[in-house]
Structure 1
Amino acid sequence: MLRHERGTLESEKTLSHEKIGKMASSHLKTLKKVRRENEKIQSEVGRRTISEILTSGETFYMGACIDTTLTFLQKLKEHIPAEKLEIGCELLKQKETGNLTFHLFLTDHSNKPQRVIDFVGNNFVSIYEGDYQNPQEGKKITQLGTFSISGDKIEKSDSFLTIADKMGIHLPPELFQAYLAKLQHDNTPENFEQFEQNSPINIKIKKQKSSTEEAVLGVVKD
């Protein structure tokens, strides 16, 4: 009986939206976004393990949804049962160029209704209840498919590529290479300077109960 009750309590572990927002803000300050040499983009983006990313304390300032999402999952596991957490991967096609890309996001099933934690881009995090939604879908991009994996199937020794394989996403080498090539093309000093000047930490929370019930927890300038 006691085991059953403890198990029930364990399964009900969750965090408030505000607490997750504060954790996300702290995480963005801890995981420093830097400009990397193009050679390191080839050898590190998507290939570093969660443990390696956390140890380095750094991530590439572009395409950062990979590192920030995977490492934040690890942080959430300290407070929420891993089986209640989920990594989602959205495969996308850009309408203007036809280039293929992808985006990672977190779904937390410990909250009712479920909530999405989305490191959208730069230093912006969107936290909301309900199903995952990409605000650019139908405008600039077309969704080709969505995959997911439970948090308890992800280890600190995993990288994005090993997790993609676990999800059943068999990324053609040319697709991933095209993604890296785009990052390398955009990896200019000017773009990095613009990022540093115009990317304050911004955490936005939207609850399902009311379309106007939103809270911006932090706007922090460097």
Structure 2
Amino acid sequence: MPELTNHLWMSITNLGGAGLTLPLALAIALWLAAGYSWRMAASWVFVLGVAIGLVTLTKIAFLGWGVGVRELDFTGFSGHAMTSTAVYPVAFFLMLQGTPNFVRLTGMLTGLGIGVAVAFSRVVLDAHSPSEAVTGCIVGALTAMVFARYWWHARAQRISTAVVALSLAAITVALHNVHVPTHRWVTDIALTVSGHDRPFVRATWKPTGAPRAPNAPISQTLNDLVPLQQRA
């Protein structure tokens, strides 16, 4: 049934929402600080922060000035795709500490698979174009790979893998349907820094030869941007 299919894709896409992935990222940082070192935790926050900043800048560039790539239907990296492909592999990296390398690598690939599924759901739900979902995955995967490669041989001394796994699983279940209006916040920032009254939207940007701000009210343009749920 279409309703069940749509519900399934919404459940998958919610795995990449900021209301879930950001608390997971924070929990990972706290466990890294408690079980490894503050330096390791800080490096995780730094690489993820850089990735989030990159996603945010591409969104601000489009919403504020209409900067994008029409040929690829690209208006900014998918935040859902980026955060899920960055956070879930590192979550498995943390939960599987002390296991053989191939087990840990398999876990990280599983986390990457979750992120790819989230990215695909964004395309199915018309929240992002394929180019935005794919590039978001690339940014997120690179973030996880850089962190894991640098810290692969680090060993925890003071944490239980079972407790870590249970805590991260509990956060995932508890916050799965929590939505944070990140797109609205980014839109407000874009309008503030650009000085425009209304954001650029895909519907008025893609078909024309030159980018222009829409004539519709902001509330309508936001609805055009997110036909099924707020984008991130």
TM-score when normalising by structure 1: 0.27
Bigger radius of gyration, 1 or 2? 2
TM-score when normalising by structure 2: 0.26
User: In proportion to residue count, which structure has more helix?
Assistant: 2
Higher relative contact order by CA 8 Å / sep ≥ 6: 1 or 2?
Answer: 2
User: In proportion to residue count, which structure has more strand?
Assistant: 1
